[in-house]
Amino acid sequence: MKKKNIYFTAIFLAAFMWTGCSDFLEVEPKSSWKAESFYSTREEADLALSGIYSELANDDVYGWKFNVLLEAGTDESYTNDPNNPTWDDAKYAHTPSSDAIKNIWLRFYTCIQLVNQFEKNLNPDLFTAEAYNNLLAKARFMRAFCYYNLAGWFGPVPLRLTPSYSQEDNNVPASPLIDVYTQVESDYLFAAEHLKHANSSEYVPGEPNKMAAHGLLARLYLRMGGFQPYLSGSEAGSYFENNQQYFEKAREQCEIIINDGWHGIVPYAVDSMSYRNHFLSYLQDRYDLRESLFEISFGNFQSMGLTVDGRLGNINGVEFVGTQDIPRGFCKVNVGLPVYHIYSQEDTRREWNIAGYRNKYSSANRAYTMSYIFDYPLNQEYGIGKFRRWEPSNLNALKEEEKITDAGYTILNNTPGSDTDPNFTSINFPVLRYSDVLLMHAEAVIGGRFGTAAANDAALNDLNTVRERVGLEPYTGSLNHDDFFKEIVDERLRELCFEGLRKQDLIRWDLLEEKLMETNETISNHALFNSTNQFHQTYLSPGNNFDRARHLLLPYPLQETLINQSLEQRTGW
């Protein structure tokens, strides 16, 4: 994205520029640079923006803990680790002292602090109005993104819009949820007005862009129209007043992208492996800008020789464990049994999203044994294929034999060789894809779960565009509201699984508890289920532990409630 020295310095800046919002962050900057005079050139402003972006490219957020660990525990995925307390968050066994919860709070607020500093210290007199607004739009896009996620996962949160410099600045009460979302809306609207289009010669891949802002506005409006677990601290759960207005706003934002005509997906008739090939772009440090509207970048940092805490395809990858290094994969999260059942045989997404194989070293015979386990979905290494680092050289032979010793394999992720830590990868993470825009539009047209409108031709076309891309026939089911909504719920799982969206989708639809119960019933009734198998019991733990009164939102981090004297922990924690 930028020159190597800019990226290196950005990492350094991110470490020293943030003060406030946490006790251990109250450190005096060691640099002689002053924030008030720092952003005086375009190069310095770009450097500061790189520091903002890098806050989310680490273990705590999009490296794996936010988008893999905290996302597990739905009908999409669950952990197979029965004893490691690291995975308590995925089993609804977490507490306010959870490291994962504390660290995502810290990272998002660190990013917000850097944005607030950038906004304060960017001198408009040193830039043209267009350049100044464009720089500010990139920063505000990131602030909106952070607050959107904080509010979705934690509910009402402190709304900080100016830099924090002391412990006293940290004492900020949680703002009403509608106020937080209104700020997110304002920042995204500004970004949509002033960001460059991804087709612009001035656009830098990996940075925020105009249509991404419109798409994330649509996502915001769908959430605002949906179920709100806690409004103003109440335990009851409700909806914002006149919530159907937000579906109309979401529809409008999606149509800006659709009618613009530049973004799209490659149809099956042009490329029968379109879905697979798109995801190979994330694995191989390429930007498919027409389909991927926004993604969290890891590959650029990795290729520059910097340590990047991305573990996609490692923690949530296909098992490859033994004496060799790359392509190491631990398969700590399993494909949920409902995902195995939801695909038709002809759906080309089926064998991409579900790997159905593993490679494990045996010390007894000093060799790797590759196994084909696609039709054994309760296997403890039933791995996610979407971010696979490797695949068998001859998958058809493996299907026939089921087990092959020392079989050949192909590395798909171009992480450097043996001199690199094999636990870290350069795989980028998709935040917003065009197929998501289409499915959001279809949902907005019918008004969400509790709307009343039937699907129209536009909504049907949205669904069919997604289906036909993977070789499926057009949808011929009912267009009445309830039936079409159920199809959207299922299609989002088929299309967007493992992309960090399912849990929040289920919460805004008020379906999380229902899907957890359905998942446990499906597992318990499976022919291969064994009640004495510790892994099978672990799959059931999210549904068994789930408490609707507590688990629709995360607790505030214990550390934050101790530091912020104006932030009270919610009831039940």
pLDDT per position as a tens digit, 350-368? 999 999 999 998 888 889 9
What burial class does residue 525 get, using C-beta atoms within 10 Å of its C-beta: 0-12 exposed, 13-18 middle, 19+ buried? exposed
User: What phi and psi, each to the nearest 5 degrees, are found at residue 136?
Assistant: -65, -35
Please give the average per-residue pLDDT across 285-299, as a whole number: 94
pLDDT of 175 strictly over 90: yes
Please give the average per-residue pLDDT across 538-559, as a whole number: 97
Task: Give the rounded distance of the alpha carbon of 364 from its chain centre.
Answer: 40
* Strand pairing report for 333-335 and 367-372: unpaired
Calpha distance 494→508 (Å, rounded): 18
Contact 501, 219 (CB under 8 A): no
Amino acid found at 186: S
Please give the average per-residue pLDDT across 12-35, as a whole number: 38
Q: How many CA atoms lie within 13 A of 486 on its CB side?
A: 8
What is the predicted pLDDT for the residue at 27? 34
What stretch of H or E contains 248?
helix 244-260
What stretch of H or E contains 372?
strand 367-372
| Beta bridge partners of residue 321, listed in sequence order | 360
pLDDT bracket for residue 302 (50, 70, 90): low
pLDDT bracket for residue 416 (50, 70, 90): low
pLDDT bracket for residue 421 (50, 70, 90): confident
What is the predicted pLDDT for the residue at 206? 92
Q: Which of 490 and 419 is assigned the larger pLDDT? A: 490
Predicted structure pTM score: 0.93
Per-residue pLDDT tens over the stretch 273-288: 999 999 999 999 899 9
What is the predicted pLDDT for the residue at 232? 52
What is the predicted pLDDT for the residue at 30? 36
Q: What angle do CA 301, 389, 409 make, to 5 degrees?
A: 135
What is the predicted pLDDT for the residue at 12? 39
Contact 395, 368 (CB under 8 A): no
Per-residue pLDDT tens over the stretch 507-544: 999 999 999 999 999 999 999 999 999 999 999 999 99
What is the predicted pLDDT for the residue at 26? 35
CATH architecture of 4-195: Alpha Horseshoe (1.25)
Calpha distance 81→77 (Å, rounded): 12
What burial class does residue 363 get, using C-beta atoms within 10 Å of its C-beta: 0-12 exposed, 13-18 middle, 19+ buried? exposed
| Domain parsing of the chain, residue ranges | 4-195, 320-424
Contact 287, 205 (CB under 8 A): yes
pLDDT bracket for residue 308 (50, 70, 90): low
pLDDT bracket for residue 466 (50, 70, 90): very high
State the SS3 of 533-552.
CHHHHHHHHHHHHCCHHHHC
What burial class does residue 418 get, using C-beta atoms within 10 Å of its C-beta: 0-12 exposed, 13-18 middle, 19+ buried? exposed
What is the predicted pLDDT for the residue at 364? 81
Residues 6+ apart with CB under 8 A from 384: 77, 316, 317, 318, 331, 333, 334, 335, 353, 354, 355, 498
Mean pLDDT taken over the chain: 90
Per-residue pLDDT tens over the stretch 205-264: 999 999 999 999 999 999 999 999 876 544 457 899 899 999 999 999 999 999 999 999
